């Protein structure tokens, strides 16, 4: 287990990207210090640690910064090999393991490029463009449900527990209510198996501890709408 304060996470409470890192470290049993950032007045530490993108999350491991949430998840697997893996362990010459790792990375990337982007458009748009984004989100959720299939979790690390894709996707379940309200659809109706997966994940301590309530996220969306003048 990492020593206290060896791991420091620069983060923002509602960020699904930061929540990935928190959930991953909890799943691995790693102690870390959480530092909330004011995104309107970013700390010097954040700007020094991530001078390229100047955004959260940033993981500091013994003072060395690692940026980008999916990179951080893979780093945690590599830096703490004695903890439960999120990705299948890399075995030289094992094509099956290599394929499983590549597949998990693909779906995590899909979450970032499709679900996150569409979710942002859902609350920024109005009228028919917003309705179109709602239809697109429903299709994205169906696609993820098809990949989940009849499994309990997306997996990746093995052992019937949360894997790389689960950890990448599960923070967005706290946004499902906001997506429904903005998009005019029901996650339960368009993707019932994915909705059941979200409920299973929500009962896991590492997830429950680090995700805000859907209602609190919806209130935050209201703040964003006012900020960007899209009410």
Q: Which position has the token pair 């999120």?
A: 86
Domain count, the chain: 2
Is 45 among the domain residues?
yes
CA-CA distance, 173 to 34, in Å (whole number)? 22
Q: What is the pLDDT of residue 2?
A: 43
| DSSP SS3 for 80 | coil
Report the CATH number at residue 70.
3.40.30.10
pLDDT tens digit sequence for 63-114: 999 999 999 999 999 999 999 999 988 876 789 989 999 999 999 999 999 9
Q: Does residue 188 sit within a domain?
A: yes
In this structure, what token pair is assigned to residue 65?
A: 């910064």
How many angstroms separate the Cα of 92 from the Cα of each of 68, 74, 78, 135? Answer: 26, 17, 15, 43
Across 125-136, average pLDDT? 96
Residue 156 has pLDDT above 70, yes or no: no
Q: Please give the pLDDT value at position 93.
A: 77
Q: Which domain holds residue 53?
A: 7-79
pTM, two decimals, is: 0.94
Residue 161 per-residue DSSP state: S
Question: Confidence class of residue 158 from pLDDT cuts 50, 70 and 90?
Answer: low
């Amino acid at each position: 287990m990492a020593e206290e304060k060896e791991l420091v996470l620069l983060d923002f409470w509602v960020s699904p990207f930061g929540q990935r890192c928190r959930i991953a470290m909890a799943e691995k049993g790693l102690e870390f210090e959480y530092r909330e950032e004011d995104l309107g007045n970013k700390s010097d530490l954040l700007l020094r640690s991530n001078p390229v993108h100047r955004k959260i999350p940033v993981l500091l491991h013994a003072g060395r910064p690692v940026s980008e949430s999916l990179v951080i998840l893979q780093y945690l697997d590599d830096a703490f090999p004695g903890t439960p893996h999120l990705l299948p362990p890399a075995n030289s010459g094992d094509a099956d393991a290599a394929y499983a790792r590549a597949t998990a990375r693909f779906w995590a990337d899909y979450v970032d490029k499709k679900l996150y982007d569409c979710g942002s458009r859902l609350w920024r748009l109005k009228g028919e463009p917003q309705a179109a984004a709602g239809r697109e989100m429903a299709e994205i959720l169906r696609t993820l449900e098809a990949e989940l299939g009849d499994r309990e979790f997306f997996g990746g690390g093995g052992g019937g527990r949360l894997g790389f894709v689960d950890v990448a996707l599960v923070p967005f379940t706290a946004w499902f209510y906001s997506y429904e309200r903005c998009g005019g659809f029901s996650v339960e109706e368009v993707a019932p198996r994915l909705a059941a997966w979200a409920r299973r994940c929500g009962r896991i301590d590492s997830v429950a501890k680090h995700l805000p309530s859907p209602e609190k996220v919806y209130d935050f969306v209201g703040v964003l709408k006012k900020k960007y003048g899209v009410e």
